[in-house]
Amino acid sequence: MATRTRRTDALTRERIVGAAVELLDTAGEGGLTFKALTERLATGAGAIYWHVANKDELLDAATDGAVAAALATEPGGQSPREEIRAVAFGLFDAIDEHPWLGTQLALQFSRNPWGTVTPRIFESIGRRVRALGVPEAAWFTATSALVHYILGAAGQNAANARGAGAGVDRAEFLDNASKAWEKLGPDDYPFLHAIAGQLREHDDREQFLAGLDFVLTGITASV
């Protein structure tokens, strides 16, 4: 019992979650094991299990920590529309920085909406939707539309980056994709043939913001 007390005094849940995030960032979900954690933290598995019951709990805590950090700097003194954009960029950057986060957020929303992650995000966006003057009957729908766009677009952007592969030049990747679209028959694929050049030239963050503004414009038009 004395040894157990020394370990728990030296090791905190915060340190464990921080180490888990580092492993997830570098090795992905498959690389997050209790064995890898014990090596990184130079401790025994028992000390980790004292604070975290299993891998699912660890993933939940890592996801919650990443989201909390993304929302930690509350934008103030701006219009509700500008604040929504700031929150959206915070989440976009978090998902871009942590490639595993998009998948975990999708799992949180579908399997654990009563946990801490979904309420954090909905509250942050929802209070600003309310400040836009959206009728109360439309609060949930408007907030859901924004949340799903933000997480979906940010998650897809991160997935595209992973799909390109480590060390692959983004401009080269987009150029190759654009050329492939240009080779599609214009009779069968007139739309893709026409926008192939836009694919090559687009900026991810600017495109994300433009899409967000489309959603916000639709929401505010209903006020």
> Mean of the pLDDT values across residues 74-78?
72
At 114 the pLDDT is 87
- Integer Cα distance of 47 and 34 in angstroms: 11
- Integer Cα distance of 139 and 127 in angstroms: 9
At 219 the pLDDT is 94
Torsion of CA 196, 197, 199, 205, to 10 degrees: -160
CATH architecture of the domain covering 76-221: Orthogonal Bundle (1.10)
pLDDT band at 6 (very low <50, low <70, confident <90, very high): very low
CA atoms within 13 A on the CB side of 152: 8
Which residues have C-beta within 8 Å of that of residue 91, sequence separation ≥ 6? Answer: 67, 70, 71, 121, 150, 151, 154
Give the mean pLDDT of the chain: 88
**What global pTM score does this model have?**
0.84
At 10 the pLDDT is 74
